[in-house]
Structure 1
Amino acid sequence: MSEHASLRARVYWWLERPDREARGPRLLEIALILLITANVTAVILETVSTIYAVWQPAFDVFERISLTMFIIEYAARLWVVPENPQNRSRRAWVVTPSAIIDLLAILPALLVLLFPVDLRILRAFRIVRLLKLTRYSPALGMLLAVFEEEAGAFFAGFFILIVMLVLAASGAWLVEHQVQPDAFGSIPAAMWWAVATLTTVGYGDVTPVTIAGKIFGAIITVLGIGMAALPAGILASGLNDQLHRRRSSMQAEFRRALEDGFICDAEEVEIEDLRKSLGLSYRAALQIRSEVEAEVQARLHLCPSCGRSLSDQKETSA
């Protein structure tokens, strides 16, 4: 292996943590999490004028340091992509959700150099750096995977919502524009009422006053309950499917480890790493292990208490 490839493999080991028990990569991961958290905190505090006026130089220095660190991280992750056994294409990596989030984390600050905009307004977009935590949180990673896999279903749901929005605004304009020209004078103006009603928010600042308008509003309100539940149902179904697949992966790993009837220390470490990467709780993994062990013992005719073959015990007793 060349010196260049060896260095790249080393950087990949530090960034992607193939060995999850390694202390160095773990400390680097904690440092990046703290840096992301500090950046989000800084963005929030910068919106307080009294704090920003006093600490502006410190905020500026911290932003330059953070931007440099995130650019180095992005470039390093792009460089070590060929070391990933699952995806060796840099072009494919650039369009992955985690890579897009990493790019968005540095893009607002870089745009300051190209476009004359209010720096504080553009800095507010740095709040997207909070999404970088999905790389280190299995739960957030699961949610991101659901959005990625169910993108078609979410698009279909929002498309239906847009169609309903246009129909509701059109109907409200038709029955109310003569009585309330300020609120329902046009279809675009009526869309505010349609959005508030379909999302079941109902601010109450714009309401129908005619009998036909009230009947129409009641129908739209009922339909809005179902429309609001549609994305939630897609999300819940996707999360359940993700959790089921992760549990299936854990079951497959236990079955592989128990092929010889017992789990050795090396296999215990691999199983624990898989549990952490899948975001499963220790209790859930223990339950899966008990189920698989019972299944394997029944298949191999092993004693549940001592793990020895029942046929050997019968021969010994005989």
Structure 2
Amino acid sequence: MAQDYRFFAATRRRCFALLFEHRTRSGRRMETFWIAASLLSVVVLFFESSASDLFPNTPDILWRFGLLELGFTALFSVEYVLRVLCSPRKTHYPVSFFGIIDLCTVLPMYILWMMPSLAGATDLVVLVRLLRVLRVLRVLKLLRYMNDAGILWRSLMRARRKLSIFFGFVAIILCLFGGLMFAVEEGKDGFTSLGASVYWAVVTLTTVGYGDITPHTATGRMLASILILLGYSIIAVPTGILTAYMSQELEKGRAARSCQNCLHSGHESDAKFCAHCGAVLDSDRSQPVDK
């Protein structure tokens, strides 16, 4: 019994090192494997969506793509189960960001297996397409292996309050101008409701300008001009907020890396040698997000 427990514990530690640690040679090889598998599954999904047009002379092409999807689903299912079993906190990984992403990428196939009638129901075509599109979320699995993505994630978390205040202010402006345009245009020329008017305000404030709804009165055009100028003036605000926090995160990363020989700090995250004495630096041990 004790030997079985030690064998299980050793196997669990080995799986944890392969799936969660990427500083060893075997960990880096496993990292490369999962990156390639995630990219290949997304590429196959895009080919599958237009398989009938790309391969008109192959009547069973959708069946072949189905077999490929079956293989990817089995592979990512094994990965998900192993991550749950090897995680030190088994209840933490399933509700984490990457745990939810990993689960969503394998659920569509299982849902279609348990309810095969969905695939042939004409009134549920949108649901079936949504389940297929969920597989595109596999591209988000790549964020797990991008160390620099952690800087962006932490910056977003630290700036979330300021960004929320900014977008709340923008929402107020959109509702105000949408309501004014609905009243000025008297429900004509596409401004048939407050929702349509706010949609116009969103398109105008972001300076996209689809042209499907345009004001025709002099007052309406004046309001549109003000909203366009306002959009140009505030569009850089969230960029400035996020840039400031990203600069702080980069500076913290440089300060955290110090040379063990001369104790000189301020090295870049990808630096291999000390810029002051030339000694070899320890590898960067910062992690992007909770894996």
- Ranked by relative contact order (alpha carbons within 8 Å, sequence separation 6 or more), the top structure is 2
TM bucket by the smaller chain?
0.7 to 0.9
- Equivalent in 30, 33, 40 of residue 31 of structure 1: 33
Deviations 1:64-106 (A, max 9, x none): 1111111111111111111xxxxxx332333332222222222
Deviations 1:158-202 (A, max 9, x none): 322222221121011111126xx1411221121221111111111
Note the residue ranges of structure 1 that are not aligned, 5 or more in a row: 83-88, 264-274, 295-318
- 1:134–1:140 contact (8 Å) kept in structure 2: yes
Give the structure 1 partner of residue 42 of structure 2: 40
Cα distance change, pair 245–97 in 1 and its aligned pair in 2 (3 A): farther
- 2:189–2:213 contact (8 Å) kept in structure 1: no
Which is richer in helix?
A: 1
Q: How does the TM-score come out when normalised to structure 1?
A: 0.72
* d(CA) in 2 for partners of 1:191, 1:52: 44
* 1:262 Cα deviation after fit: 8.7
* 1:149 Cα deviation after fit: 3.7
Give the structure 1 partner of residue 235 of structure 2: 228
Cα distance change, pair 152–75 in 1 and its aligned pair in 2 (3 A): farther
The within-5 A match list for 1:272-311 is: 280-282=269-271, 286=273, 289-291=274-276, 293=277
Q: Check if 1:241 corresponds to 2:248.
A: yes
Give the structure 2 partner of residue 12 of structure 1: 16
Cα distance change, pair 233–185 in 1 and its aligned pair in 2 (3 A): same
Q: How many percent identity over aligned positions?
A: 28
Which amino acid in 2 is paired with 1:144? W
* d(CA) in 2 for partners of 1:182, 1:214: 13
* d(CA) in 2 for partners of 1:224, 1:231: 12
Cα distance change, pair 129–146 in 1 and its aligned pair in 2 (3 A): farther
- 1:199–1:227 contact (8 Å) kept in structure 2: no
Count of residue pairs brought into register by the alignment: 260
Deviations 1:120-156 (A, max 9, x none): 5421221111010111122334333333443333333
* d(CA) in 1 for partners of 2:76, 2:28: 18
* d(CA) in 2 for partners of 1:232, 1:72: 40
Q: Check if 1:58 corresponds to 2:47.
A: no
- 2:38–2:142 contact (8 Å) kept in structure 1: yes
- 1:133–1:140 contact (8 Å) kept in structure 2: no
Give the structure 2 partner of residue 175 of structure 1: 184
* d(CA) in 1 for partners of 2:269, 2:72: 32
Cα distance change, pair 238–40 in 1 and its aligned pair in 2 (3 A): farther
Give the structure 2 partner of residue 209 of structure 1: 216
* d(CA) in 2 for partners of 1:238, 1:138: 17
Cα distance change, pair 52–141 in 1 and its aligned pair in 2 (3 A): farther
* d(CA) in 2 for partners of 1:75, 1:152: 35
Give the structure 2 partner of residue 188 of structure 1: 195
